[in-house]
Amino acid sequence: MANPRIAIDAMGGDYGPSIVVPGAIEAARAQICDLLLVGDKNAVGVELRKYDTSGLEVTVVHASQVVEMREKPSEILRRKKDSSIQVACQLVKDGLADGVVSAGNSGATVACGMFVLGRIPGVERPALAGILFTEKSSMVLIDVGANVDCKPFHLFQFGLMADVFAKDVLGVHRPRVGLLSIGEEEGKGNVQVKEAFDLFKLSSLNFVGNVEGRDIFTGNVDVVVCDGFVGNVALKLSEGLGASLTRIFRKEISGGLLPRIGQALLQGAIDKFTRLVDYAEYGGAPLLGLQGIGIVCHGVSNVKAIKSAVVMAATFVEKKANQHLIEELSANEELTRFGKAVKY
C-alpha cells in the first residue's frame, strides 16, 4: 500500500514555515507518510535545508499567495486561488494528496475543506471535532464550530463521524457516544437534542444517552455530540479556565520563593490539569465528513502540535477511516432517511 500523502499549509500559523516544516518532518519520522509542503518555495526551502530529511518523501509545492488571519473565507475562496491553503486542498481534490493540515486562518481552512474537497456522499454537514484529554484518556467533542444552526439529524451524523474517528484514530474499541444535554434522563434538553436522542437510540452506535457539561472531562464517555455553537462555547470556556489557572498560579508564584518551591513540588498535578484544557496540546481539530481529511490547527501551534496534527491526518488515511464512515452511514441508512424526512 502507498504511504498516506499529507499536504501541509507551510505558510499557516503565527510562525509559518519555521514551525510547520520541522513539525511535519518530525511527524513523518513518527508515522510513515509522504509530505507535500505547500507555500512560497523559497521560504519553505530555506527551512527545509535546516533538517535531515533522508529517507523521507518530501515535495515542495509552490503557492504564490498567503492567507491573512483576518481575511474572510468567502473572499479567500474567490480571490486567493493560489494561496497555500487552497492549493493544498486542491492537491487532495486532484488525487495528489490524501489529507490537509493547516494552522492558518481557521475559517478559511474549514471553507476550503468544505468547498474544494467536497463532502462524502451521504454526509449532510462536515463537522469539526475537538480532541480533548480527559482524566483517563482522550475524547471527541463534535461539533466545535463548523455548524452553528443544526437539525437533530445533523447531530446524529456528527455522532457517526466521531465514532469512526474514535475507533480508527484514537483506537477506542467500541466508543461510548453521549449527547450533550442539561440532564441525564431521556427527555431532558432542548427540542433539537430531544429529537436527536431518538435517532441515537435506534442507531448502531454504543449510545450511552445524555451527558452533562460536567461529564466531558471525566473520561467516562468517548464521544460527546453537540451543535457547533454549544461545542465552540464549551471548548473556549475550557481554554479560558486553563488560561485563568495559569495566570493565577503565575501571579502567586511571582510572589516569592515558597510558592515557587510549591509549584516545583506540584508540577506533576499542574501539568496534568493544564493538559486537560490546553487546546494546543491536541495538535488540531479534524474536519470530518470530507472527501479526504482536513486538520485545523491553532494559529499558535508549536512544532509538537503540528507534528501531532500531521500524525493524526496520516493515521486517519492509513486506517481508511473514510471507508469505515461510508460503511457506518450505510448501516444507519434507514435512520438517515428518516432523520432527513422529518420536519423540525
64, 74, 204, 218: which one contacts a copy of itself (CB under 8 A)? 218
- Backbone phi, then psi, for 229, in 5-degree steps? -75, -55
| Contact range with a copy of itself by CB under 8 A, out of 27-35, 91-99, 157-165, 252-260 | 252-260
Cα gap 144→147, rounded to integer Å:
8
Contact yes or no for 184/210 (Cβ under 8 A): yes
Query: Quick check: helix, strand or coil at residue 140?
Result: strand
Among 64, 74, 244, 323, binds a copy of itself (CB under 8 A): 244
Is 240 an interacting residue with respect to a copy of itself (CB under 8 A)? yes
Strands 285-288 and 176-180, sheet pairing: unpaired
Among 213, 319, 320, 338, interactor with a copy of itself by CB under 8 A: 213
Residues 6+ apart with CB under 8 A from 326: 120, 121, 122
Query: Does the footprint of a copy of itself cover residue 122 (CB under 8 A)?
Result: no
Binds a copy of itself (CB under 8 A): choice among 20, 91, 199, 276: 276
Shortest Å, Cβ 216 to a copy of itself: 6
15 lies in the site for a copy of itself, by CB under 8 A: no
φ, ψ dihedrals at 197, nearest 5°: -50, -45
By CB under 8 A, the residues from 173 to 212 that bind a copy of itself are 180-182, 189-191, 193, 212
SS (H, E, C) 253-310: HCCCHHHHHHHHHCHHHHHHHHHHHCHHHHCCEEEECECCEEEECCCCCCHHHHHHHH
For binding to a copy of itself (CB under 8 A), which residues are involved? 134-135, 145, 148-149, 180-182, 189-191, 193, 212-218, 226-230, 232-241, 243-245, 247-249, 251-253, 258-259, 261-266, 268-269, 272-273, 276-277
